[in-house]
Amino acid sequence: MWLFTSSVGRKVVMSVTGLALILFITFHMAMNLVAIFSAEGYNMVCEFLGANWYALVATVALAGLVFIHFAYAFWLTWLNRQARGNQRYAVTSKPKAVEWASQNMFVLGLIVILGLLLHLFNFWFNMQFAEIMHKDLVDMGGGALIAPHDGAAFIAYTFSKVWYVVLYLVWLCALWFHLTHGFWSALQTLGWNNQIWIERWRVISYVYSSIIIGGFALVVVWFYVKSLL
């Protein structure tokens, strides 16, 4: 099948899964912003997305998208290195038209994966997975006990720790670079590659990615500052 055997097909898979993940993180960012304005409203969303059958199905589907996207990323990187052979060690000047992010997507992707694992531990493991295991309270250490459905309390607890704030901001910075390149690159792969539209999509990708990452960063900083007051 050409999606597996063709380099173009593999890039199409990367593009489609990447755009799907961008839609998800857009929703996730909007959901997180609710916590700033209303803890009760955020917890209502968390309860709706708890250990319900539809939320579990969506979680499995999302995990599949993430796995496919990153598996294809590793695959394409490995094939590119194999194709270049010893030439990859040659010293070459960086093309002006090539962004820094495009030349470091693999490293940025690794940082994104590590940040994702941290995020899953801090929130999914302590919330949805805890509900699946029928836990009434999650022991956060130091006598802190939080109910699995109390998402606002998890956010407040996590971002009261300065090391988590720093790690999340580094993760979000890497994710911003990853998105700004990945967004327009995916659209280019899918056919929006004429000179007029590709420049427009570049601008849109920077603006859109900045809004998404800015929203996530605002939640992190907001709750950290709130913990100091």
In a domain, 168, yes or no: yes
pLDDT at 88 over 80: no
Q: Which phi and psi (to 5°) does residue 141 adopt?
A: 90, 155
Q: Which residues sit opposite 144 in a β-bridge?
A: 141
Span 98-119, pLDDT tens digits:
466 667 777 788 888 999 999 9
Q: 212 in a domain, yes or no?
A: yes
Answer yes or no: is 184 within a domain.
yes
**Using an 8 Å Cβ cutoff, are 186 and 157 in contact?**
no
Cβ–Cβ contacts within 10 Å for residue 202, how many? Answer: 18
Domain count, the chain: 1
- pLDDT tens-digit series, residues 141-163: 888 899 999 999 999 999 999 99
Provide CB contacts within 8 A for 11, sequence distance 6+.
Answer: 76, 189
Angle, in degrees to the nearest 10, between helices 53-84 and 105-119: 150
Asked whether residue 51 is assigned to any structural domain, the reply reads yes
Is 108 domain-assigned?
yes
**What percent of the chain has a predicted confidence (pLDDT) above 90?**
53
Let me know if residue 177 belongs to a domain.
yes
Q: What tokens appear for 48 in the block? A: 């709706």
- What's the start-to-end Cα distance of the chain, in Å? 58
**In which residue are the tokens 């409203």 written?**
41
In a domain, 215, yes or no: yes
Domain that includes residue 55, residue range? 2-88+100-228
Sign of the dihedral defined by the CA atoms of residues 66, 71, 73, 74, in that order? positive
CATH of the domain at 151: 1.20.1300.10
> CA-CA distances (angstroms) from residue 151 to 8, 49, 50, 69, 146?
41, 11, 10, 28, 9
Kindly state the tokens that stand for 159.
């971002």
CA distance 185 to 175: 15
- Token pair belonging to 82: 């194999």
Report the range of poorest mean pLDDT among 32-36, 128-132, 220-224: 128-132
Nearest to 49 by CA among 155, 148, 120: 148
